[in-house]
Amino acid sequence: MIPFLDLKAINAQYRDELVEAATRVIDSGWYVQGTEVKAFEQEFAEYCGTKLCIGVANGLDALTLTLRAWKEMGKLKEGDEVIVPANTYIASILAITENRLIPVLVEPDMATYNICPINAEAAVTEKTRVILPVHLYGQLADMPAIMDIASRHNLLVLEDSAQAHGASINGIKAGNWGHASGFSFYPGKNLGALGDAGAITTSDDELAQTIRALGNYGSHKKYENLYQGVNSRLDEMQAAMLRVKLRHLDTETQRRREVAIAYAKGITNPTIKLPISPDSTLESLANHAFHLFVIQTKERDKLQKQLTEAGIQTLIHYPIPPHKQNAYKAWNSSEYPITESIHQKILSLPISPVMCNEQVKIIVNFFQ
């Protein structure tokens, strides 16, 4: 069986380093808001190219707290509109509705699965205040175009970078394009902790301070509370794990790109639509961190069954789009034909830094 993602094997590569880091935290006697978090925040900000990084409990909180902070700063108010892709993981939308802001769903670009800048600009109204692009599957959205739209319409940009650690366009990484960016370090993400974790990157001091306070009961100063905050903090143990994993992230991303290129070159079956061209190179794929390798085919369910029978585990990201979820009943009858057709045809093949060439070959041969 080729597993979709072998997390045990991924973390086993760094077992000694992880054990050493965990031991350091255990022996320190200090488990929340200490030196590991501070060091990881500095290291991850430096990695992304931003001035600041704020650790939080998970990726959903990273997005939710950033929007909340903009409300506390007077940049947003209830009922303002946020433009977001219709085909995203539900968390991008939950962060908006949790803040009583209005998600305006926009169809993606068929080729990249990411928000289409033309559709995004067409959705701007006098109530629009934010664009929330999602770097889906690890590929950066068209950020030069999104930032141009944002500056012409005076909008804030919050990147959902949960799937795109280390992807870049023109040398500028995910997390350093928008006014702020939310990251998830859920174990299965490209930079994964050994539990839940998340962070915001930004170069805006006031925003960073506000998020920090909101995630710490609304407190800037011990026992003084400016806001009705929450408890959402990255803990010392996860920060220590992430510092180890961050050192290996670029090597892992390169391996993901190598697997993607091998798929693109090897899978020549005309019924399969690939996410990248077979002439892609490591350099031309800088914009893609390959969190997922997503193919399209008309008979998706049949193909998935055959792959399972051949011992190849695949998943669907995602089977039901947000507007068809029970959680958002009011939108169930809305139509997003591109999003819906994508959801019916997509299938994610195994991709990970620990896949060996033999496994890649088995999968490529399956399609011959």
Binding site residues, ligand PLP, CB under 6 A: 58-60, 88-89, 91-92, 134, 160, 162-163, 184, 186, 196, 198
CB of 268 to ligand PLP, least distance (A): 30
Between 70 and 89, CB nearer to ligand PLP: 89
- Cis peptide bond N-terminal to 318, omega within 30: yes
213 touches 221 (CB < 8 A) = no
CB of 196 to ligand PLP, least distance (A): 6
Between 168 and 181, CB nearer to ligand PLP: 181
Q: Is 346 helix (H, G, I), strand (E, B) or coil?
A: strand
CB of 191 to ligand PLP, least distance (A): 11
Instruction: List alpha helices for the chain, DSSP H.
Output: 7-12, 15-28, 35-48, 59-72, 90-98, 117-122, 143-153, 205-214, 236-247, 249-266, 300-309, 337-345, 357-366
Distance from the Cα of residue 342 to its chain's centroid: 19
Between 58 and 253, CB nearer to ligand PLP: 58
CB of 171 to ligand PLP, least distance (A): 23
CB of 20 to ligand PLP, least distance (A): 25
| Residue 17 vs residues 40, 186, 195, 197, 241: alpha-carbon distances, Å | 15, 19, 17, 19, 9
Instruction: Give the CB-side neighbour count of residue 153, counting CA atoms within 13 A.
Output: 24
Between 174 and 363, CB nearer to ligand PLP: 174
Q: 265 Cβ partners below 8 Å, 6+ apart?
A: 278
Residue nearest to ligand PLP (CB): 59
The catalytic residue positions are 189
362 touches 312 (CB < 8 A) = yes
Tokens of 31: 């488990």
Between 169 and 226, CB nearer to ligand PLP: 169
